[in-house]
DNA sequence: TATGAATGAGAATTCATTCAT
DNA sequence: CATGAATGAATTCTCATTCAT
């Protein structure tokens, strides 16, 4: 009873977060039980309450952390250019990479919005909106510059994001396609989708050996 | 207390189905309770069991019925042509229309696969697969005929379907966009996405004033 | 609301077992509700699930424990003789004593076999069979040695066991008969029943004043 | 809807009684559901209420009918003698025969007393008591006449009845033993049990060929 | 820091029973 | 005579949560 030898709060908290993401991704937030979560972490259900004040709050924390990570990573790595085509290429690369590397987090963030209380949902949706805006800004700029041809930048944003995010629902690590090829294919599809006048090197690179078109 | 005056099994069952779709779409299958469902229909919770042997089975029935409706509708209305471009245009039209008309059903079918028991999931996934195959066949034929330029027809299927299906998550009846404009915009995006050489009349109609490409 | 002051798992589990035996004996397993059981123990219904995974499993545990106790007690106290008459006398003494001391358990074990799932029933019946075999072995040996006269040892086992076990259905602690007299009467009846040639000292002691037979 | 062609109240009622006895014997009264019963009879649950005002009342009716049948049959067929030995022989024969012929009814009558409401139980127990008294009277008369040697006629009644009734729990129609042999064996056991001075012709008949004892 | 005992509210499900048809 | 739609109360069981230790 009491502290297990060598037990460590930070380690435990991290283990709970990891296990929670996995479990929520597998079963859904409502279907996941704290007993299951505790069992996977190797602690008693009551112990989870040292780290999260409630099951609901745990979901909020997880989602906010994920979206902030997403935004932070984009900001940190975005190219210092204004060229919409280059920006879109970078965004697709970033998005597809992250959505395959952190599939579970992304999946949860997309699926579990409705498990949030209204106030929490607003907070999370606002963060997600900031992420969507990144793409909308790129598409609008590109559209105005004549680089892209989309009927409506906001709708195109939804379309492209849905398309890109969908990758998470079928891509499996170690499958037929490597992450590099995946990124290349999705880059081509996204570029074509927004009617990029010059789909540029990625397109060429991908299809050069196939002797197609260009 | 016995049969209520004017009660009718078929009517009740239909009311339960409708209410169930709405509730599951709103709260998620796990979060929905039969009490809630019964309350919305105006019967006692136990009465639901005259029509569905269990909550789990209710979900299966709902999903299977939806997917069979989807497949049946496509088969009934598909154009009698072999032209991939015309077929794709018809498919986009069909899909977007149905996914806005039956938004709740589609949403549920996309979200609640994981609430199914493995055997039920296999059954539902098999039906969904048949639907995906419709698009894959179109893209493959078009790709081989040189009408489309996609790196991989299966991946393009996932991309286009994700893009089109995404419409359900933001489109609202009576919003800024009518269904007709919506279909036109998504048609353009899909056509561009698969690199359609000649996006045809719809594209022309929509984009004529932009003086692009064709 | 959390652990009640001074609560103790072992104590609680034991209280549940005791109360369960009483309740099942009174009402029958199917008729007993966990609410009732919990109420008698002084806990909430849900708390029972800390100790038993299901109502059904509780019954199995109770029955298996009882039968193992029965077998263990006989093995521990059986006389080290080969004399069938002495063994039968000891068995009757043991059986009648235990079936009055642990009336409720015995009653439950006899009545609730049909409340068990097939697999559980097989397990319990196998244990009971081992107990029956004790008597069959005694009767067979005695029969072959000419000490008993029974048409068929197995049938005589059923007859004698039924006779002895029946005591539980009418004997009441503190009634007209003490346990000692009870044992003596049943010993006589059992001995006569199997046609014991020399019913030995117990018979003599009990029936000396009747000047019968021997 | 409404009357099935050729349906007939008396036939239906009888079918319900038969099915009820079987089901109660199999599962126990509490565990049997009216749906199950209705299903076995081939009617809807509601239809049972044409014949029995409630589930509880059905059990009472079944038990009372059975016990009255038992008493009536004994009265109708009892030998016109005063000889305790002959009477006991007749009683054993009657009891064993009936308890194998109407196993299910007997079993139910023995098991389900506790499922009755107090008033109903009193009524049924009184009938059963009248049946027990038949044997007690025989044993007391025989005991006083020196034909039997039992410590206490009432206790001997319980012992002998338990022994005889036990036959129902293992005897199976078409098994190793015919009903005639069964009766003979139980007659011998019962006679020996009550210390019958002269176990009479049955004993002789049964064991003559075995060259045992006499 | 963690456990383990317990709570209490609520979940799905069952079932005897009723009654319009 | 029988059905089939519905009830409402109760049942087993689950689960987030609490808190003495």
pLDDT band at D198 (very low <50, low <70, confident <90, very high): low
Phi, psi of C35 (to 5 degrees): -60, -50
b (16+ CB within 10 A) / e for D147-164: bbbbbbbbbbbbbbbbbb
pLDDT band at D7 (very low <50, low <70, confident <90, very high): low
Class in CATH terms, C54-210? mainly alpha
Q: Using the CA of C46, give the nucleotide whose C1' is nearest.
A: F13
Q: pLDDT tens, C100-121?
A: 999 999 999 989 999 999 999 9
Q: What is the structure's pLDDT at D168?
A: 87
Q: pLDDT tens, B71-123?
A: 999 999 999 999 999 999 999 999 999 999 999 999 999 899 999 999 999 99
Whether the predicted pLDDT of C204 surpasses 60: no
Which CATH code is given to the segment(s) D56-210?
A: 1.10.357.10
Whether the predicted pLDDT of A49 surpasses 70: yes
How far apart CA B129 and CA D128 sit, in angstroms, is 68
**Chain C touched by D209 (CB under 8 Å):** no
Among A1-15, A61-75, A169-183, which is the least confidently predicted range? A1-15
Mean per-residue pLDDT, C122-147: 96
Mean per-residue pLDDT, A140-154: 95
Domain locations in chain A?
Answer: 7-52, 55-210
CB-CB contact of C205 with C184 (8 Å): yes
Phi, psi of A24 (to 5 degrees): -65, -40
Q: pLDDT tens, B134-179?
A: 999 999 999 999 999 999 999 999 999 999 999 988 888 888 888 9
Indicate the pTM of the whole model: 0.86
D31 alpha carbon, distance to own chain's centre = 22
Distance from CA of B194 to the nearest CA of A (A): 7
> Could you tell me the sign of the dihedral formed by the alpha carbons of A14, A16, A18, A24, in that order?
negative
Q: Angle C96-C98-C100 (CA atoms, 0-180°, nearest 5)?
A: 70
Which chains pack against D, by 3+ Cβ pairs within 8 A? Answer: C
| Secondary structure in 3-state letters for chain C | CCCCCCCCHHHHHHHHHHHHHHHHHHHCCCCCCHHHHHHHHCCCHHHHHHCCCCHHHHHHHHHHHHHHHHHHHHHHHCCCCCCHHHHHHHHHHHHHHHHHHCHHHHHHHHHHHHHCCHHHHHHHHHHHHHHHHHHHHHHHHHHHCCCCCCCCHHHHHHHHHHHHHHHHHCCCCCCCCCHHHHHHHHHHHHHHHCCCCCCHHHHHHHHHHHCCCC
Mean per-residue pLDDT, B31-40: 97
Whether the predicted pLDDT of A200 surpasses 70: no
**Cα first-last separation, chain A:** 71
* Interchain CB distance below 8 Å, D163 and C163: yes
pLDDT band at B196 (very low <50, low <70, confident <90, very high): very high
Q: pLDDT tens, D110-133?
A: 899 999 999 999 999 999 999 999
Q: pLDDT averaged over chain D?
A: 88
Q: Please give the structure tokens belonging to residue C206.
A: 């009990």
Strands (E), A27-98: none
Q: pLDDT tens, A103-127?
A: 999 999 989 999 999 999 999 999 9
Q: pLDDT tens, C82-105?
A: 999 999 999 999 999 999 999 999
Q: What is the structure's pLDDT at A201?
A: 42
Q: DSSP for A137-158, please give it.
A: HHHHHHHHTTS---S-HHHHHH
CB-CB contact of C169 with D163 (8 Å): no
> Could you tell me the sign of the dihedral formed by the alpha carbons of A58, A64, A70, A76, in that order?
negative
Which CATH code is given to the segment(s) A7-52?
A: 1.10.10.60
Mean per-residue pLDDT, B20-39: 96
Which CATH code is given to the segment(s) B1-52?
A: 1.10.10.60
Instruction: Considering only residues 32-71 of chain B, list those whose CB is below 7 Å from strand E.
Output: 32-35, 45-46, 49, 53-56
Among B11-20, D69-78, D179-188, D200-209, which is the least confidently predicted range? D200-209
**Chain D touched by C205 (CB under 8 Å):** no
Mean per-residue pLDDT, A53-66: 96
Whether the predicted pLDDT of D209 surpasses 70: no
Mean per-residue pLDDT, A22-38: 95
Q: What is the structure's pLDDT at C168?
A: 86
Q: pLDDT tens, D17-64?
A: 999 999 999 999 999 999 999 999 999 999 999 999 999 999 999 999
How far apart CA A34 and CA A115 sit, in angstroms, is 15
* CATH value of A55-210 in 1.10.357.10, 3.30.70.1350, 1.10.10.10, 1.10.3720.10: 1.10.357.10
Nearest-CA residue relative to C1' of F5: B3
Among C166-170, C182-186, D89-93, which is the least confidently predicted range? C166-170
Task: Name the residue among A28, A158, A193 with its Cβ closest to that of B28.
Answer: A28
C26 vs D contacts (CB less than 8 Å)? 114
Which of D 157-176 lie inside 8 A of C, CB atoms? Answer: 158-163, 165-167, 169-170
> Could you tell me the sign of the dihedral formed by the alpha carbons of A105, A110, A111, A113, in that order?
positive
Q: pLDDT averaged over chain B?
A: 89
CB-CB contact of B182 with B171 (8 Å): yes
Q: What is the structure's pLDDT at C97?
A: 93
Residue scoring higher pLDDT (B41 or A198): B41
Q: What is the dihedral of CA B97, B101, B102, B104, to 10 degrees?
A: 120
Residue scoring higher pLDDT (B7 or D115): D115
């Amino acid at each position: 009873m009491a502290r297990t030898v060598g037990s460590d709060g930070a380690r435990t908290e991290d283990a709970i977060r990891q296990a929670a993401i996995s479990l929520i991704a597998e079963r859904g937030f409502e279907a996941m039980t704290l007993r299951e979560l505790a069992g996977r972490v190797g602690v008693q259900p009551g112990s989870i309450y040292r780290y999260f004040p409630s099951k609901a709050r745990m979901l909020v924390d997880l989602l906010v952390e994920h979206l902030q990570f997403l935004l932070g990573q984009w900001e940190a790595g975005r190219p210092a250019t204004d060229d919409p085509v280059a920006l879109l290429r970078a965004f697709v690369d970033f998005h597809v990479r992250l959505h395959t590397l952190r599939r579970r987090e992304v999946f949860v963030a997309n699926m579990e919005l409705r498990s949030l209380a209204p106030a929490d949902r607003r907070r999370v949706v606002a963060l997600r909106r900031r992420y969507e805006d990144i793409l909308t800004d790129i598409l609008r700029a590109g559209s105005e510059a004549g680089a892209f041809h989309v009927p409506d930048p906001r709708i195109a944003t939804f379309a492209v994001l849905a398309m890109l995010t969908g990758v998470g629902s079928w891509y499996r690590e170690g499958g037929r396609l490597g992450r590099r090829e995946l990124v290349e294919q999705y880059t081509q599809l996204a570029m074509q989708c927004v009617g990029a006048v010059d789909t540029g090197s990625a397109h060429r690179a991908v299809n050069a050996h196939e002797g197609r078109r260009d």
